[in-house]
Amino acid sequence: MKMSTIFRLLLVLVMGTSSLLYSCKKVEHGTDVPIVSINENTVSTIQVGKKLKVGFIANQVTDFTFSIVPVAAGEALMTENITVDPNTFIVSKEFDIPNQVSWIGDALLKISYTSAGQVIEKTKPITFTESNPQMFLVGGSVAAGWEPTLALPMSLYDKDSKSKFEVYEYVTVDGSGFKFLPTNVDWTDAFGKGTSDGTLLQSADAGNITVASDDFYRIRMDAEAKTYEVLKSTWGVIGSATPNGWDSDTDMKFVGSKGIYTWKLTVNLTVGELKFRMNDDWIINIGGELSSLQQDGANIAIATAGKYDIELSRTASGYSAKISKN
């Protein structure tokens, strides 16, 4: 009785296992139908000028057509025939999206393939947005060195332009100069010196841009016009408390180095006010709280006449100053 019971239990177990295997086999056989889909993890928004990575899920398909079409009527922005291994289930492709106005807006990622004699089309919405212009400074004569991933970011200085960049940086004669990079990833499309001073060449053959003396400079470049400008930059104090009043600056001395930006001045001040400004011009002038000086900030009050040590520092967070009476 005991052995019989055990036998029956074993028989049930074997039959159950066989049934499970048969069931799995049927499900597997059902995936032989050609299918292609766009992976749901594919981004739905991307800036023009970037690389678009699209994931595809493909089954029993040797090729299909991928295209990007605007939601508004018009021709496809791009079309590419993609060939895949029939045994491959997941396919990933990268597409270079040009930095062109015609691409900005809503579009559809579209795939077309043949299954059971019919053409199947599937789409996924995507939005192409305007790119955020960027430019970087790299070179042995600046703090970044020649490593692109350490390149110094530049800023747009003309609100009406997306190609004019500037940066303020200490530059040395040693180090073989510098170049401009549109990315801080690698050397792709780097800008260097052109055939003459002030011109740029976007080529691997372009030369390095150099300076005649170690100093703090304002460096500007126009990626569209392919021009650049390197201008020595100075800081000074101006105001009723300074020797020259509001008429002209009393210059400070740069005492920093690569990555360290400090200016100092020892000067006799009277009771009154002062501000800091760059290059003897009001375009860049800073004032307000000494711990966090701001563009067009308030005048800084000097309550007692005497000899003062003034120190101006620039860090990643902005400008600060120390004004100490001797």
User: In CATH, what number is assigned to the domain containing residue 119?
Assistant: 2.60.40.10
User: What integer pLDDT is reported at residue 24 of this predicted model?
Assistant: 36
263 plus 252 within the same structural domain = yes
Query: β-pairing, 78-83 with 105-115?
Result: unpaired
User: What integer pLDDT is reported at residue 29 of this predicted model?
Assistant: 37
Residue 226 tokens read as 């392919």
41 plus 53 within the same structural domain = yes
Query: Is residue 1 one of the residues assigned to a domain?
Result: no
179 plus 152 within the same structural domain = yes
96 plus 171 within the same structural domain = no
The answer to whether residues 53 and 41 touch, using CB atoms and an 8 Å cutoff, is no
Question: Residue 269 belongs to a domain with what CATH number?
Answer: 2.60.40
Strand runs labelled E in 21-175: 35-38, 45-47, 51-59, 63-70, 78-83, 90-96, 105-115, 118-129, 136-138, 152-153, 155-156, 164-171
**Long-range pairs for 198-206: beta carbons < 8 A, 24 or more residues apart:** 198/227, 198/228, 198/229, 199/226, 199/227, 199/228, 200/226, 200/227, 200/228, 201/226, 202/226, 206/179
Query: Is residue 212 one of the residues assigned to a domain?
Result: yes
Q: What is the pLDDT of residues 237-248, one digit of tens each?
A: 999 999 999 999
User: What integer pLDDT is reported at residue 28 of this predicted model?
Assistant: 39
Which residues face 20 on adjacent strands?
none
274 plus 310 within the same structural domain = yes
User: What integer pLDDT is reported at residue 131 of this predicted model?
Assistant: 79
User: What integer pLDDT is reported at residue 197 of this predicted model?
Assistant: 95
Residues in the chain predicted with pLDDT less than 50, given as ranges, are 1-30
Query: Is residue 23 one of the residues assigned to a domain?
Result: no
Cα 81 to Cα 62: distance, rounded to the nearest angstrom:
11
DSSP H helical segments within the chain, as ranges? Answer: 2-29
Question: Residue 209 belongs to a domain with what CATH number?
Answer: 2.60.40.3620
The answer to whether residues 180 and 147 touch, using CB atoms and an 8 Å cutoff, is no
Local structure of 106: helix, strand or coil: strand
73-78-84 Cα angle (round to 5)? 130
Task: Give the number of domains in the chain.
Answer: 3
Query: Is residue 13 one of the residues assigned to a domain?
Result: no
95 plus 78 within the same structural domain = yes
Identify the domain boundary among 206, 232, 258.
232
Read off the DSSP letter of residue 198: T
Identify the domain boundary among 73, 105, 129.
129
Cα 113 to Cα 118: distance, rounded to the nearest angstrom:
8
Residue 155 tokens read as 């800023």
User: What integer pLDDT is reported at residue 31 of this predicted model?
Assistant: 58
User: What integer pLDDT is reported at residue 185 of this predicted model?
Assistant: 87
257 plus 224 within the same structural domain = no
Query: Is residue 21 one of the residues assigned to a domain?
Result: no
| Domain limits for position 264 | 235-325
DSSP string, 241-304: TSTTTTTS-EE-EE--BTTBEEEEEEEEE-SEEEEEEETTSSSSEEES-TTSBEETPPPEEE-S
Query: β-pairing, 35-38 with 51-59?
Result: antiparallel
Dihedral, 275, 280, 285, 291 alpha carbons, nearest 10: -50
225 plus 275 within the same structural domain = no
pTM of the predicted protein model: 0.61
Identify the domain boundary among 217, 232, 247.
232
